[in-house]
Amino acid sequence: MSDVARTPNASGAEAAVLRRLATRAMGLTGADIERIVREARLKARRGKRAMRYQDIEDGIRSNRPPVPIDLRWRFAIHEAGHAVVHHALDLGPIRGLNIDTGQGGYNLLGFHPSGNDTPEWHANMLAMLMAGRAAEALVLKRISGGSGGTDDSDLARATRMAFDIERTLGFGAEHPLLYRPHRSPGDVLDRNPELAARVHDRLETALNQATAILSERKSAFNGLIKALSDAQALDGAVVMRILDGDDRE
């Protein structure tokens, strides 16, 4: 972006702003970004000045409807829950959180390349996936449908993973050496109540683990909720500062 106005200490300042923009843009398509940059450039030309990073950030924000404060608070709780459990279980880096979408939150969670083929890793992943639901139950004393409802939702991903643990990964409680994949786990679970009970037990255990972690790390959890609700988008560096400053209760 050669026509972006530059400031002193450009390298460090620009890197921080670019991280913020990348976090703010989570959930947008490449076509959305291209249009927003084009509109920001046009705005700058009309003002007879160089394009600023703020023009792009304003464009991203105006591309989305404002999020009502009650939804923003719930989205913040949900995504903060995922981040705290992800960090506590050392699953990998956190690159950003965003609730500035009007349709739910987004997170950029990285994963360590090693250790992801063990029963322990899958159990930790289940806890991370269930953490948004656990967070809502802890703070709001009720849950929303935000964890489920679609094939890429937290509950759908967790159910598929627990199903695979039982049927395809060799970690199941019954006939673990049999490889029994299925394109539609829901169809199998509907017909096999014993398998459904085992899968549900794994999800319940994961939910309880997530709840325990969030209760133990209440200081970081609450701090991240407030910061995310206020800013609506946090890059990974800010998230990690909050999580690493945790004082366990």
Which amino acid is it at 56? I
Query: Residue 5's pLDDT band (boundaries 50, 70, 90)?
Result: very low
| Residue 94 CB coordination number (10 Å) | 23
Q: Confirm if 173 and 198 have CB atoms less than 8 A apart.
A: yes
**pLDDT for the residue 27:** 67
User: Which residues, other chains included, contact 113 with Cβ-Cβ below 8 Å and sequence gap of 6+?
Assistant: none
Helix, strand, or coil (residue 97): strand
- Tokens representing residue 9 in the block: 């200490």
- Exposure of 34 in the CB half-sphere (CA atoms within 13 A): 3
Angle at 65 between CA 42 and CA 151, to 5 degrees: 115
Angstrom distance (rounded) from CA 136 to CA 184: 28
Q: What mean pLDDT value characterizes the chain?
A: 86
| pLDDT score at 85 | 98
What are the structure tokens assigned to 8, written together?
A: 């002193």
Crossing angle for the helix pair 218-231 and 69-88, nearest 10 degrees? 140
Yes or no: say if 100 and 50 are a contact pair by the CB < 8 Å rule. no
Give residue 227's pLDDT. Answer: 94
Top pLDDT among 17 and 56 is at 56
User: 109 forms bridges with which residues in the sheet?
Assistant: 94
Decide: residue 168, CB within 10 A, 0-12 exposed, 13-18 middle, 19+ buried.
middle
List the one residue out of 30, 57, 51 whose CA is nearest residue 233: 57
Q: What is the pLDDT of residues 136-146, one digit of tens each?
A: 999 999 998 88
Q: What is the pLDDT, as a whole number, of residue 55?
A: 82
CA 81 from chain center: how many Å?
Answer: 9
Q: What is the pLDDT of residues 188-237, one digit of tens each?
A: 999 999 999 999 999 999 999 999 999 999 999 999 999 999 888 888 99
